[in-house]
């Protein structure tokens, strides 16, 4: 966060609509909750971006039901616009750019043959790690926007920036990587989840919030809403920044949303593919070919989306957050059935808001979460969402 008199922090907001186990993990980082239909001014689109919908289902009868509704055939030849992470593509004339944009997203799937979690735990997350992989994908996209920008694009066999390699290494399946499956699974113990147990969106959001406390390189302030209510005052307090007045809040949001209701079909990255563990090579880089989905992307009708979803918004600077708030108040909260609330002040009937702090320990980063005994300093956070549809 670049702001006068403030410490450097970035914001990521995460909140959940329902906590039904075995749900879909949908993540967006522009300011619209409809499927990729928001037009943003260039400066805002570079910082507040939309995530592809990343599906994660319990690998049981629910998976078979959802997968039967997915399509992986070629995109239809129409004049419709497709939105990916805040960027629009004209489907009829820019299909190659669209596919390239999708394949550039980091794709995390089940892996096997990594070192046993906790020393004696599972060496594969097949069957239980899908939601953790979706959380990794969501956070990885935030880090790409943080360090490389939304316009950065990945190309096969091309040398990538050092920041890209460093981002990728944050998610390798090793206990010393800050957002690895090992770290997430062991931090989940503090949320009441045994290692190898399936996570819901709430648990993933809480785990990422806590792991971010040890991530000094990215300096993320991760806010997870309670009761589906985003509190502006709490977020600014968490980022150690005094709230700015409305007339100094940066650029104004777009005057209206340019939405199309013809399809609203969702494009998503599916974690339900098991691949072999990939580690760093001798030169310190990672062979990233299996971390990008090079096949035709999958699609599903938005009406088939499981109601158990988490939404993530990334704001690089305070002015982007203020613009996001303005747009939400103007365009999203006017709907009768809204997915969340946005309020200025901390509700008086809630417990006082205390920004999360890194526990006082002798080790740092991923080394901290090396055994479940060290998780006692974290409180369980179960009062997350209370929305029924």
**Pairwise CA distance, residues 6 & 223, whole Å:** 18
Separation of alpha carbons 291 and 387, rounded Å? 35
> CA angle at residue 142 from 356 to 79, to 5 degrees?
140
Exposed, middle or buried, 372 (CB in 10 Å: 0-12/13-18/19+)? Answer: middle
> Choosing from 89, 125, 130, 178, which is the catalytic residue?
130
Q: Do 337 and 17 contact (CB within 8 A), yes or no? A: no
Q: Find all residues with CB under 8 Å of 137, minimum gap 6, and list them.
A: 27, 54, 105, 106, 107, 108, 269, 271
Give the start-end residues of each E strand in the chain.
Answer: 10-16, 53-54, 81-84, 87-90, 110-112, 220-224, 229-231, 266-269, 274-276, 298-300, 310-315, 341-343
Find the catalytic residue in 30, 58, 234, 270. 270
Say whether 38 sits in a helix, a strand or coil: coil
* CA dist., res. 241 & res. 6, Å (int): 6
130: annotated active-site residue? yes
Which among 160, 123, 165 is positioned nearest to 140, based on CA atoms? 165
Q: Name the catalytic one among 30, 272, 306, 322.
A: 272
272 catalytic? Reply is yes
Element spanning 206, H or E: helix 201-211
Closest to 203 measured CA to CA, from 215, 192, 211, 217:
192
d(CA 364, CA 183): 13
- 3-class DSSP assignment, residue 227: coil
Please say if 147 is a catalytic residue: no
Residues designated catalytic: 130, 270, 272
């Amino acid at each position: 966060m670049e702001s006068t008199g403030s410490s450097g922090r970035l914001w990521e907001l995460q909140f959940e609509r329902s906590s039904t186990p075995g749900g879909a993990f949908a993540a967006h980082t522009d300011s619209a909750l409809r499927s990729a239909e928001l037009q943003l001014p260039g400066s805002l689109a570079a910082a507040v971006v939309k995530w592809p919908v990343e599906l994660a289902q319990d690998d049981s009868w629910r998976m078979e039901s959802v997968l039967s509704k997915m399509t992986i055939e070629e995109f239809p030849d129409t004049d419709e616009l497709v939105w990916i992470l805040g960027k629009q593509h004209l489907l009829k004339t820019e299909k190659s750019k669209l596919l390239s944009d999708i394949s550039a997203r980091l794709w995390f799937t089940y892996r096997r043959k990594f070192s046993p979690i906790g020393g004696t735990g599972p060496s594969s997350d097949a069957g239980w790690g899908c939601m953790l992989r979706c959380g990794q994908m969501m956070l990885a996209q935030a880090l790409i926007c943080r360090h490389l920008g939304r316009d950065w694009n990945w190309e096969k066999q091309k040398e990538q920036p050092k920041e890209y390699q460093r981002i990728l290494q944050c998610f390798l399946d090793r206990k010393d990587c800050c957002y690895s499956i090992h770290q997430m699974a062991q931090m989940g113990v503090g949320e009441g989840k045994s290692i190898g147990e399936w996570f819901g969106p709430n648990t993933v959001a809480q785990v990422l919030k806590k792991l971010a406390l040890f991530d000094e390189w990215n300096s993320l302030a991760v806010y997870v809403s309670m009761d589906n209510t985003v509190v502006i005052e709490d977020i600014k307090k968490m980022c150690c920044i005094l709230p700015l007045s409305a007339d100094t809040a940066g650029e104004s949001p777009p005057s209206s949303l340019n939405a199309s209701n013809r399809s609203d079909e969702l494009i998503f990255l599916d974690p339900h593919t098991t691949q072999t563990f990939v580690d760093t090579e001798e030169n310190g880089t990672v062979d990233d070919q299996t971390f990008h989905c090079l096949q035709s992307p999958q699609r599903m009708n938005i009406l088939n989306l499981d109601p158990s979803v988490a939404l993530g918004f990334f704001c690089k600077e305070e002015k982007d957050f203020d613009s996001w708030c303005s747009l939400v108040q103007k365009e999203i909260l006017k709907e009768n059935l809204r997915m969340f609330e946005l309020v200025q002040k901390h509700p008086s009937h809630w417990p006082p808001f205390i920004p999360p702090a890194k526990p006082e320990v002798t080790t740092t980063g991923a080394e901290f979460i090396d055994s479940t005994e060290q998780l006692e300093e974290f409180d369980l956070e179960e009062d997350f969402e209370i929305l029924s549809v």
